[in-house]
């Protein structure tokens, strides 16, 4: 009768016995601490960072966010730079998150915007502008470029939704003029060159936007410019 095979291997040392521990063992590993309280603390810290970034953005003398650094945000939020990095691994992610915070504070949302909401949203943007210390200047921070593209996409989508018979060019022209009226340079020119106060500037832009929206909803398409075409003039027969 064959012998039973319940013997241990004679060459199995203590070190090898340790290596035979089940793979699922957690001994020696750092446990991840997660609980509703912990998640709430993380959310509060993240919000403190975003609020600090928003406060700094309101104080900057220009739209250039080079001074919106990890160190500056950490000091304002009362946390370490490592904590800020933990929430936002790159400066671009930090800036994008602060931009989102500013939009929420202003009550601005570009997602699923409809043509009849354009004027109201633009009014909120300009009303929030007065809370910033920044002087009129060019915008060159990537976070603003991304926000600008989202606004353009939102306006084009809003126009497309109510102009099913228009050509792509007609829709683009209508969305583009709404974007110009909505833009910060338009507001700043009214305030600086025309010396309107904030209320007057917002009123003028709101009136212009509502006029364009009424034209779009009334199926009044952008027509070719009257008179000579200065761009195409002189090209025939060249």
- Give mean pLDDT, residues 94-107: 93
Average pLDDT (99-128) is 88
Same domain? 88 vs 129: no
Alpha-carbon span 44 to 26, nearest angstrom: 30
Is 205 a domain residue? Answer: yes
- Do the domain assignments include residue 194? yes
Mean pLDDT of 123-142: 74
With a pLDDT cut of 90, the percent of the chain lying above it is: 49
Whether residues 95 and 124 share a domain: the answer is no
CA distance 200 to 205: 9
Do 187 and 160 share a structural domain? Answer: yes
71-86 average pLDDT score: 96
Average pLDDT over residues 74-95: 95
Domain-terminating residue out of 49, 76, 102:
102
* Chain center to CA of 52: 17
Q: What is the domain extent for residue 139?
A: 108-217
Same domain, 150 and 186: yes
pLDDT band at 7 (very low <50, low <70, confident <90, very high): very low
Q: Is there a single domain that holds both residue 44 and residue 88? A: yes
The mean per-residue pLDDT over the stretch 54-81 comes to 92
C-alpha dist (Å) from residue 126 to 9, 69, 129? 80, 26, 5
Kindly report, residue by residue over 149-179, the tens digit of the pLDDT.
898 999 999 999 999 999 999 999 999 999 9
pLDDT over 50 (residue 196): yes
Residue 55, pLDDT above cutoff 60 = yes
- Identify whether 168 is part of a domain: yes
Q: Are residues 95 and 114 in the same domain?
A: no
> Is 150 within the bounds of a domain?
yes
Answer yes or no: do 124 and 194 share one domain.
yes
Say what percent of the chain tops pLDDT 70. Answer: 77
The answer to whether position 225 is within a domain reads no
Total structural domains within the chain: 2
**pTM, 2 dp:** 0.56
> Do residues 94 and 169 both lie within one domain?
no
pLDDT in tens, 203-233: 999 999 999 999 999 999 998 865 544 445 4
pLDDT greater than 90 at residue 61: no
Say if 146 falls within a structural domain: yes
156 is a domain residue: yes
Which whole number is the average pLDDT over 110-137? 82
Do 52 and 142 share a structural domain?
A: no
Report long-range pairs for 166-172 (Cβ below 8 Å, ≥24 apart).
166/221, 170/221, 170/222
């Amino acid at each position: 009768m064959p012998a039973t095979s319940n013997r241990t291997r004679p060459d199995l040392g203590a070190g090898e016995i340790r290596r035979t521990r089940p793979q699922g063992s957690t001994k020696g590993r750092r446990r991840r601490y997660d609980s509703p309280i912990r998640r709430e603390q993380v959310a509060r810290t993240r919000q403190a960072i975003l609020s600090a970034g928003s406060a700094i953005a309101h104080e900057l003398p220009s739209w250039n966010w080079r001074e919106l650094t990890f160190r500056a945000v950490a000091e304002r939020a009362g946390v370490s730079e490592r904590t800020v990095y933990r929430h936002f691994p790159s400066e671009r992610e930090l800036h994008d998150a602060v931009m989102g915070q500013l939009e929420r504070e202003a009550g601005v949302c570009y997602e699923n915007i409809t043509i009849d909401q354009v004027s109201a949203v633009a009014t909120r943007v300009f009303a929030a502008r007065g809370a910033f210390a920044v002087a009129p200047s060019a915008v060159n921070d990537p976070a603003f470029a991304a926000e600008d593209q989202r606004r353009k996409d939102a306006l084009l989508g809003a126009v497309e939704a109510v102009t099913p018979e228009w050509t792509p060019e007609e829709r683009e022209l209508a969305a583009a003029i709404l974007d110009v009226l909505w833009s910060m340079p338009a507001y700043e020119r009214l305030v600086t060159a025309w010396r309107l106060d904030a209320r007057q500037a917002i009123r003028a832009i709101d009136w212009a936007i509502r006029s364009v929206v009424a034209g779009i909803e009334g199926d009044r398409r952008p027509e070719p410019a009257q008179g000579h075409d200065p761009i195409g003039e002189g090209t025939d027969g060249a």
